[in-house]
Structures are given as structure tokens and as C-alpha cells.
């Protein structure tokens, strides 16, 4: 956008972007803590603490730089914590956050050079390392908010029931702010949601033998994990593609993979698996635009 002189620049800084994203997580974090109680606080604190400690140690030891101030480690820690259930032993969030910062981000050269969202990498590492510890199991809510038993499955985001619907809405609220500030590209969550909703609605009933257009759409959209992945992880400016067409295709691919993994593979962490798979395809998605020579 070109303005008349003087051309003053106060563009978005990394720090401002990261802190805004972390701030947009606050409603969902508060809701998770209120429902799940002290356990949720412990998971979040350990994840954020491990992420910050790892970033500090690597920044100082490898690069002689203090990199904590860019806020990306804090955001990674929060995302890792939010994506985990509350009943995991506390070494799980610590390992997930450390893996995210040390392996997924720092090994490739630090912030801006990673090809996969760090929080997702950490989440997947613990998912496949300790599947038994992370398996979904019902857990009575131990929080300060009185919610009927049987509604929560122990996820910090409330699982797939009504509690999950609330956290989906809270995450969407935070996400809407990110979209309005143009920190996140609107194409990604929009096409992610549309392709996920369409495929679930049209084909989601097939495995249960119910025919076309009978999928359980509300339950699918109410998983907090979906909103977290669509608004905060798939839109990561480092790992999402550039260009409108590429972003639309990226989101659509995320939605389709998320549908397949959720309905056919029955994986609770389907959104977290779908986004890294599409992250791998980003260079391919960006290629047509690069060939034509425009952005």
C-alpha cells in the first residue's frame, strides 16, 4: 500500500506478532484452566518453561544471542501446552517443548528457517513416543468451574463435546483478531475450515454406514484441536505458503487430510498431523506462482 510522503514505517515486528498471537490464546487458556483445574496450569507452565529455557540455552550456547525477547519461544510453549491433555506426566510437555525448540526450530537455523511449525513437531514427537500416555481417556473435571462429569475428556481444549465448542469459539475469537490485524492470512483458516466441514458433512457418515451428507459436523468442528491448528498453527507466517492461491490450496489440503485422519484413521490429534504433512508440500504449492514470476 502506497501512501503520500512522508513514508513512515512502523511495520509489524516479530516480537509484536508473537506476543499478539500469544495474547489471542489467553481466552482459550483461561477457559482450559478454569475447567481442568491445577493440572492444566502445571502442563502449561512446564511447557512454556521448558520452551523458554531451551531457547535461552541454545541461543546463548550456539549463537551467542539472546533470542527470548522475540516471544516465539513463549508462543511455542503455550501452543504445545494447549495441545496436550492434562493427565500426562509432566515430563511429556517438557520433552515436547524442548523438541519443538531444539530440534524443529534451532536445528534448521532458528526462527524463520524452520519448515514445520515447532509446536506441532513437539506435539507429534510425544504423540508417537508415548502413545499410551496420551491416549484419550475420560477424566472428571477438576477445575473451578462446575461442569457436569462426562463432558470432558481431559483435553485442555475440552475435547469434542460442548466444552470443546466453547474453546473452539474462544480460539476463533482470538483467531479473528489475528486475521483482522493481518498477522495471520485469512485464506488458510477459511479454506481449512471449509474443506474440513464439507468433507465431514458429505462423507463423514460413510464409515458408520449412514450414506452421503450425514456426517456429524458439529462434533467435528467442536474439537478444540481443530480451531487451534487452523487459526494458530497452520497460519504460522514462517511455515505457511505465500500467495493467495497457494494459501487456499494449503488450507484445503489441511482440511482434507484432517478429515481422512479423523474419520478413517480415528486419530484424536488429526488436525495436528494434517498441518505438518501440508507444511512439507509448501515449496510445491509456491512453485506455480514463482514460475510465473509474480507473488
Partner 1 sequence: MKSRSGEFPRRLWGENPLVAYLVGLCPALAVSNRVANALLLAAVMLFALLGTGIASVALERLLPPRLRLPARLLLASALVSAAQRFLWALAPTLGAGLGIYLPLLAVNCLLLGSAGAGSVAEGVLEAAGRGAAFAAALASIALVREVLGAGRITLFPVGHFSGVVSLRGLPPARVLAAAPGAFFLLAYASALVRRRKRRVA
Residues forming contacts to partner 1 in the complex (CB under 8 A) are: 91, 95, 103, 107, 125, 128-131, 133
Residue 72, Cβ neighbours under 10 Å: how many?
Answer: 28
Question: What's the min distance (Å) between Cβ of 132 and partner 1?
Answer: 8
The DSSP annotation for 252-281 comes to HHHHHHHHIIIIIS--TTHHHHHHHHHHHT
C-alpha closest to that of 250 among 213, 215, 283, 285: 285
- In terms of CB distance, is 15 or 65 closer to partner 1? 65
Chain centroid to CA 257: 15
CB of 40 to partner 1, least distance (A): 22
**Residue placing its CB nearer to partner 1 in the complex, 59 or 122:** 122
Residue 128 beta carbon to partner 1: minimum distance, rounded to whole angstroms: 5
Q: Select 120 or 227, whichever has its Cβ closest to partner 1.
A: 120
Q: Which is nearer to partner 1, 105 or 247 (CB)?
A: 105
Q: Is 93 within 8 Å of 81 (Cβ atoms)?
A: yes
Where b means 16+ CB within 10 Å and e means fewer, 244-272 reads: eebbbbbbbbbbbbbbbbbbeeebbbbbb
CB count, 10 Å around CB of 279?
Answer: 24
DSSP per residue over 210-248, as a string?
--TT---HHHHHT-HHHHIIIIIITT-TTTSPSSHHHHH
Nearer to partner 1, 110 or 175 (CB): 110
Nearer to partner 1, 104 or 221 (CB): 104
Least spacing, CB of residue 125 vs partner 1, in Å: 6
Q: How far is the CB of 109 from partner 1 (least distance, A)?
A: 12
Beta bridge partner(s), residue 211: none
CB of 156 to partner 1, least distance (A): 21
Amino acid at each position: 500500500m502506497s501512501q503520500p510522503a512522508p513514508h513512515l514505517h512502523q511495520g509489524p515486528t516479530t516480537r509484536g506478532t508473537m506476543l499478539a498471537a500469544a495474547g489471542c490464546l489467553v481466552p482459550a487458556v483461561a477457559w482450559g484452566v478454569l475447567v481442568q483445574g491445577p493440572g492444566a496450569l502445571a502442563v502449561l507452565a512446564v511447557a512454556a518453561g521448558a520452551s523458554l529455557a531451551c531457547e535461552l540455552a541454545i541461543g546463548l550456547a550456539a549463537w551467542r544471542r539472546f533470542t527470548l525477547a522475540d516471544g516465539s519461544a513463549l508462543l511455542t510453549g503455550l501452543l504445545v501446552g494447549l495441545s496436550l491433555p492434562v493427565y500426562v506426566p509432566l515430563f511429556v510437555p517438557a520433552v515436547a517443548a524442548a523438541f519443538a525448540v531444539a530440534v524443529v526450530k534451532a536445528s534448521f537455523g532458528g526462527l524463520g528457517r524452520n519448515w514445520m511449525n515447532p509446536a506441532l513437531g513437539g506435539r507429534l514427537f510425544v504423540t508417537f513416543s508415548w502413545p499410551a500416555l496420551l491416549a484419550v481417556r475420560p477424566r472428571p473435571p477438576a477445575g473451578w468451574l462446575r461442569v457436569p462429569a462426562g463432558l470432558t475428556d481431559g483435553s485442555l481444549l475440552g475435547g469434542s463435546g460442548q466444552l470443546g465448542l466453547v474453546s473452539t469459539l474462544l480460539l476463533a475469537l482470538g483467531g479473528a483478531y489475528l486475521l483482522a490485524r493481518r498477522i495471520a492470512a485469512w485464506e488458510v483458516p477459511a479454506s481449512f475450515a471449509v474443506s474440513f466441514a464439507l468433507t465431514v458433512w458429505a462423507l463423514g457418515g460413510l464409515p458408520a454406514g449412514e450414506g452421503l451428507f450425514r456426517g456429524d459436523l458439529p462434533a467435528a468442528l467442536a474439537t478444540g484441536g481443530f480451531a487451534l491448528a487452523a487459526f494458530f498453527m497452520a497460519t504460522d507466517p514462517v511455515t505457511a505458503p505465500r500467495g493467495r492461491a497457494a494459501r487456499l490450496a494449503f488450507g484445503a489440503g489441511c482440511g482434507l487430510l484432517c478429515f481422512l485422519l479423523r474419520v478413517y484413521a480415528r486419530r484424536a490429534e488429526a488436525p495436528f498431523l494434517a498441518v505438518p504433512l501440508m507444511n512439507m508440500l509448501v515449496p510445491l504449492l509456491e512453485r506455480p506462482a514463482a514460475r510465473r514470476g509474480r507473488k
